Structure 1
Amino acid sequence: MTDRIETYIVDSFTNKPFKGNPAGVCILTQKLTDKQMQSIAKELGLSETAFICKIDNQDKYSIRYFSPVMEIPLCGHATLASSKVLFEINPKIDAIHFKNIQNLDLMIKKYGKKIEMKFPVYDTIPQNAPDELLYALGIETIINCEYNKETNILLLEIKSSEQLENLSPDFEKLKQSHNSINGVLITSISQKDDYDFESRYFWPWSGTNEDPVTGGTHTFLAKYWSNRLNKKKMNSYQCSERTGFMEVELISENKLLIKSEAQIILKGELRL
């Protein structure tokens, strides 16, 4: 008998369809192997696909994330997408508890159209940016370079959001310029009235060339800009081609709130 998996595509970090970051969401009623989940993620071809399975009767779920290339321990936009699906399936609930492969507890709450996720906060440490990497990105000078070990991502701050928006990396050269990171996050202070900072995330090493909107990078990006701007609550804008937005708030030394919206654009049945 063919196994059938309820499957969705959801645009996260946006209030409009076909903007933000699309994620796959597969609701499992039985366990799949890692190979099966990897194959499904590759077939869907989205930056990440989340696989969720109910743990108990208290709205608690396991959640795992796969890019087309590899498993990703933590993914913000796929968590938001999964939450949007579960809140639509179960309109009477307003809170969900996810547990990821790292045993992180991810608490989710619904506030009208907005969904709030409680994520960990990570530190960054000073790091040198290889000249080859800067050349591949098309960046001549940077303000700062930091590294986050939990996500294995390099952070580069540059002068302006206009420069950030106009970046057009050579992804083949970028991939060859470094052999030990998952991705590189470029960020700048925002020149838009409604936002505090902006970013773009490139990860040809472990996913697609560019992730349209990236919740997971804000686990360290929020603290980085909090220290730079002396603010706990900020508005973030990802100036990729699809664009996206979120509110971030540091509520303690190790906890962060990320709040935004998501749009379900497709519901279907995946057959194995």
Structure 2
Amino acid sequence: MKIWIVHAFTDRLFTGNPAAVVPLERWLPDATLQAIATENRLSETAFVTPTGLKGNYQLRWFTPATEVPLCGHATLAAGAMLLSELEPGLEVVVFDTHAGALVVRATPEGYTLDLPKKQRAPWDAPGELARALGVNGFADAFVAEYANVVLESEAAVVNMKPDIAAINSIIRGPRQGMLVVTAPADEGKPYDFVSRFFAPGAGIDEDPVTGSAFADLAPYWCDRFDMESVVGYQASKRGGYMRAIQTLSSVRLLGQVAVYLRGELDPSLARLANRVDEHPEAPPRKKRRARKARQLPAIFEDPVLPGMDAPSAPANASPPPGEHLRPPTSHPAPPEAAPRIVVTGK
């Protein structure tokens, strides 16, 4: 089985968001998919299987902790590997996913990914969330795919030191513990807005670059700036950029990828697919022999010197050490026989 590790939404290694891409001939058990994703220790591992139609695949995403319903950067990474290395003659690949059909296209500028556009609704974000983020308040807040809060400045987003555990307890519902924080970019920056994404509910404290979050942010900032397309920068430790264009029903993201690793998974994974939950067997060992009781040598007995009587023990005292090992000096008298009762007839 092949595996790629791809840094998505960047043209340079060690930036952007890393994802593993694993193409399969057929689906392995869910426990095996989860075990592989856990072992990879990346924010997402994308598994793809062919449907039998050219350029059409099924796609699923797993974090180290669980399967997720949508992941933008791993979809872009999977599409890029299929179009560039597995089926280089194609220009478009369509993925069947839990989130619907997702389309990745190869372009001279990189790869595009079409994500569904979610309805945006105002949100009265609680004050305890502001305290968890260490900010005074929010300029705006709304809910689409995720809960989103807007801060006044780029510096407020970049310098924020959030309480991850508090975010996980405050944000409830189907997207528990998932929060987007955004703000307009400073003047003169090569991007229009800045953001960060936290997802402790999915086992990820902070995601490096999140395509599905940009699908929430692009329509908001396009409407606010009255623009057809915007460029966003996700201000994580790794950082990454993407351009987004909104249509009536979708958001088209444009990004690049950098391949970090091309490798092979051990073929035995397929054979061991149904054994991932088993504990490893301990190596065989010989049974221990029962130890025989040893009689202590006479030197451990209490010495009695010639001409001295053995000291008498108090009435309730325990016998001296070694007493139970001495042979008896005389045999105890046998118990008296019980009297016999003879019944005679008259």
Q: Give the TM-score taking structure 2 as reference length.
A: 0.73
1:213 matched to which residue of 2?
209
Distance 2:215 2:141 in 1: 16
Structure 1 residue 46 and structure 2 residue 59: aligned?
Answer: no
Q: Retained in 1: the 8 A contact 2:231–2:241? A: yes
Deviation at 1:99, TM superposition (A): 1.2
1:94 aligned partner: 91
Give the deviation of 1:269 after TM superposition: 1.8
Q: Which residue of 1 aligns with 2:327?
A: none
Question: What secondary structure, in the 3-state scheme, does the structure 1 residue paired with 2:265 have?
Answer: strand
Instruction: Give % identity.
Output: 32
**Structure 2 equivalent of residue 171 of structure 1:** 164
Matching of residues 12-27 of structure 1 within 5 Å: 12-27=8-23
Relative to the length of structure 1, the TM-score reads 0.92
The answer to whether structure 1 residue 76 and structure 2 residue 69 are counterparts is no
Match for 2:254 among 256, 259, 266? 259
Runs of 4+ in 1 over 6 A off after TM superposition: none
| 1:1-272 equivalences in 2 (<5 Å) | 5-89=1-85, 90-102=87-99, 104-112=100-108, 114-148=110-144, 151=145, 153-180=146-173, 181-182=175-176, 183-191=178-186, 192-250=188-246, 252-271=247-266, 272=269
Farther-moved stretch of structure 1 (124-133 vs 62-71): 124-133
CA RMSD of aligned residues (A): 1.4
Instruction: Please name the residue that 2:343 is paired with.
Output: none
Cα gap change, 1:269 to 1:113, in 2 (>3 Å): farther
Alpha-carbon shift at residue 47 of structure 1 (Å): 0.9
Long gaps (5+) in structure 1: none
CA separation in 2, counterparts of 1:6 and 1:131? 48
State which structure, 1 or 2, has the greater radius of gyration over its C-alpha atoms: 2
Q: Structure 1 residue 86: deviation in Å?
A: 1.1
Distance 1:178 1:117 in 2: 28
1:174 and 1:249 mapped to 2: Cα distance? 30
The structure with the largest strand share of the pair is: 1
Q: Give the 3-state SS of the residue equivalent to 1:41 in structure 2.
A: helix
- Which has the bigger relative contact order, CA under 8 A and spacing at least 6? 1
- Matched residue type, 2:170: S
CA distance in 2, matches of 1:142, 1:222: 19
Q: Which 5+ residue runs of structure 2 have no aligned equivalent?
A: 270-346
Q: Any idea what the Cα deviations from partners look like across 1:134-192, whole Å, max 9, x if unmatched?
A: 212112111011112xx3x2100001111111111122233233333330000011115
SS at structure 2 position matched to 1:216? helix
In 2, the alpha carbon distance for the partners of 1:95 and 1:258 equals 14
Note if contact 1:145-1:155 (Cα within 8 Å) is conserved in structure 2.
yes
1:178/1:257 CA distance change after superposition, 3 Å: closer
Residue by residue over 1:98-125, the C-alpha shift from the partner in whole angstroms, topping out at 9 and shown as x without a partner, is 11123x1112111135001112111221
Q: Distance in 2 between matches of 1:59 and 1:258?
A: 20
SS at match of 1:35: helix
- The CA distance in 2 between the partners of 1:185 and 1:220, in whole Å, is 9
Partner of 2:278: none
Paired positions, count: 263
Contact 2:127 2:137 in 1 (8 A): no
